[in-house]
Amino acid sequence: MKKKKLVTALTTAAVAIGSLGLGAAPANAQVNSGQFYTTSQYGVASQYHVYANNIDWNQKVGVVFYFDGDYWNTSQSKIYNYNNSDLKAMAAEANSRNMVFVPVVSPDKNAGGDGITWWENADFNGNWFRAFAKDFIASKGIDRSNVWTVGYSGGAEFQTFELGADRQWEWRSGGGNLIIGGGGSDGMQTTPDSATRNMPWYWYAGTADGKGVTWPTTWSAFGAAYQGNGVYKRSGFTNAHVYEQQGVDHYHYNFAAYLRDSFNRAGVAKKSSTASSGFSLVNGIRAYYYSHNGASVYGVPTSNEFPLRDGGVAQNFSRNSSIYWTPQFGTHGVPFYMGIGAKYKADGYENRYGFPATDEYAVRYGGAAQQFNKLDGSGHRFFLYWSPSTSTHSIYRNGSIGHRFEQSGWEAGLGFPVTDEQGFRDGAKQVFKNTQTGYTTAAYWSPQYGTHTSNQNGAILAKWAAAGDFNGYGKPITDEVKTGSGYVQYFGSRGWETGIYYSNWTGTHAINSRDGIYWSWVNSGYTEGVGFPVTDEQALGNNGASVMFKKANGERTLYTWNNAEAKVHKMNGNGGIYWRWVAEGGANKLGYPTNEEHGYQGKTRQDFSNGKTILWTPQTGAYTVDTSTLS
């Protein structure tokens, strides 16, 4: 296996010189095509070529650095032939992406032993190259977030043993790496930053490039690719892949095709044609456009910048898009061909929602969101949320419903909006769907009680709506919540509070939650002790009310109230006394219960307000007598 030789005896002065900051490039910085330019780093001179055909220096310009394999004399390396077909083909691919192509000659001067290499004396060569790259990038106006390297054979080993393993962030902030015919590794020397770990590291390995194919004969470029790739993956590199080239040996790699393939995999766009559109890109919008793959996402400009309300600025682009700038929030794009952008456009752009305060960003469960803020002094803020199953809807971030959405856990709580917030009576309403549970929630706001939520498809909300919603039982004063084996929600109207209860065995029924029946029921054990209501609270005769409750086991209890006595009395809803009372006309004939069922001379007795008593025994069943005949 090829291994790097470490040379660490750099002088302090040399390190200091190679680490100097190089400052910003002049506005008109650029470089012309040419061969055998000379550079000197750490007192060692070497050469490089530049291929910069049809580069648009009005746009951001990237660079591809190339490192060739080992050689003993210059005729053995393509690096010394500026017209080499592989170099020219790679240059054409790079130039088509508005990137200059720069093959660099190794600073190694010792042609003996292993020959001229990049991987021998790798520490020194790495320091030398990093110094050269920083100088070239800064002085030529290169975008340091779009810096690629291509290495072949010994050049590939240099990439993976040195450039990817040591001080990776010093000379670039983004780009990619194409590793051909090699690429082993013995691990990281410095901890890579996130940009390095996330950038493309693509190994191209010929299946016929094994041991005995090249020097040394014991080395396998194919094996080195997999070994190095494994080390990088274990070191946290998230975009490290090996691409096998079937039947290819060490001397038949298609360099340009692999570079084109790598650019396409990484989403490096072709050079845009903004210069021919006739419109200018300037200031913040220009910087945003080139840093956000503008030609691919937004197209070419179809206007110059133009002013908007409240100090904003926008520019239109051919892919049905606009990029906005404000002094408060900077620059953000809105593609109108996407769901969020389409809604923003349909509802009136910045006149409805204000200006984008963020780019569109991914949220959980495959959704997306973008924030918009008004700049008219109102402080209004909106989110536009999209998911595949709910489409795009707005959330008024300043409002009570918007706060409730946030407090619930955003899209993981209430879910995605399936409607906009809309006026409802003297309040507001919005419906959400949790795409993971399928649960749909209606959020209602009223000025008296704030925001509360209900199961949009549930029986409680259906009963409330059928009774006239706000104008019937009133406005929600609690959420719909679980109680025992069922559910309840409370509503308020004109000083009254009504609880609507639901269980599987009783259905949905309403109770006045401020009267004696309610509190007697609560104090007797509530839903688990007495059961759920089987009926709504209803008039009983001319001067009272009743509610029947039922447990899951079938036990029933009738709670009655009469205004004259101002008390609650109960009846066994399954017992003979109850059924006799019903058969004889109930409260309209016998009156209201005036006490509970109780024992009397071996019988069960209950008295009623119209002077009647019902007695029961197992032998006789229930029968009615005048109360006055009893002691």
Is 221 strand, coil or helix? helix
b/e burial code for range 47-65 (CB count within 10 A of at least 16 → b) = bbbbbbeebebebbbbbbb
pLDDT at 1: 41
Distinct helix (H) and strand (E) counts, the chain: 16, 36
* Confidence at 27, pLDDT banded by 50, 70, 90: very low
Residue 35 is which amino acid?
Q
Indicate the range of 290-294, 336-340, 621-625 predicted with least confidence. Answer: 290-294
Return all residues near 100 (Cβ < 8 A) that are at least 6 apart: 31, 50, 51, 52, 55, 61, 62, 63, 64, 94, 140, 142
Pairwise CA distance, residues 413 & 416, whole Å: 9
3-class SS shares of the chain: helix, strand, coil, % to 5 = 25, 30, 45
Residue that has been written with the tokens 């900051």 in this structure? 21
Pairwise CA distance, residues 613 & 590, whole Å: 8
pLDDT at 272: 66
Q: Is the per-residue pLDDT at 390 higher than 90?
A: yes
Q: Is the per-residue pLDDT at 386 higher than 70?
A: yes
pLDDT at 103: 98
Return all residues near 195 (Cβ < 8 A) that are at least 6 apart: 169, 173, 174
Q: Is the per-residue pLDDT at 127 higher than 60?
A: yes
pLDDT at 277: 63
Percent of the chain with pLDDT over 90: 84
* pLDDT per residue as tens digits for the range 337-370: 999 999 999 999 999 999 999 999 999 999 999 9
Return all residues near 85 (Cβ < 8 A) that are at least 6 apart: none
pLDDT at 177: 97
Residue that has been written with the tokens 């495959």 in this structure? 366
Q: Is the per-residue pLDDT at 65 higher than 90?
A: yes
* pLDDT per residue as tens digits for the range 411-431: 999 999 999 999 999 999 999
Q: What is the mean pLDDT of residues 193-220?
A: 94
Assigned token pair, 489: 């929600």
Closest CA to 627 of 619, 609, 618: 609
- Give the DSSP letter of residue 301: B
pLDDT at 29: 55
Q: Is the per-residue pLDDT at 17 higher than 50?
A: no
- Greatest Cα pair distance, the chain, in angstroms, is 132
Residue that has been written with the tokens 């919603």 in this structure? 469
Between 195 and 150, residue with greater pLDDT: 150
pLDDT at 162: 98
Q: Is the per-residue pLDDT at 238 higher than 90?
A: yes
pLDDT at 610: 93
pLDDT at 3: 45
pLDDT at 271: 77
Q: Is the per-residue pLDDT at 316 higher than 90?
A: yes
Q: What is the mean pLDDT of residues 156-181?
A: 96
Contact yes or no for 575/583 (Cβ under 8 A): no
- Give the DSSP letter of residue 302: S
Q: What is the mean pLDDT of residues 437-447?
A: 95
Residue 410 backbone zone (phi > 0: left; psi -120 to 50: alpha; other: beta): left
Q: At what angle do helices 255-266 and 85-96 cross, to 10 degrees?
A: 20
pLDDT at 80: 96
Pairwise CA distance, residues 445 & 425, whole Å: 10
pTM: 0.58
Q: What is the mean pLDDT of residues 405-412?
A: 95
pLDDT at 325: 97
State residue 451 phi and psi, 5-degree precision. -105, 130
pLDDT at 15: 29
Q: Is the per-residue pLDDT at 589 higher than 60?
A: yes
Mean pLDDT computed over every residue of the chain: 91
Residue that has been written with the tokens 């190259």 in this structure? 129
Q: What is the mean pLDDT of residues 179-188?
A: 97
Between 257 and 57, residue with greater pLDDT: 257
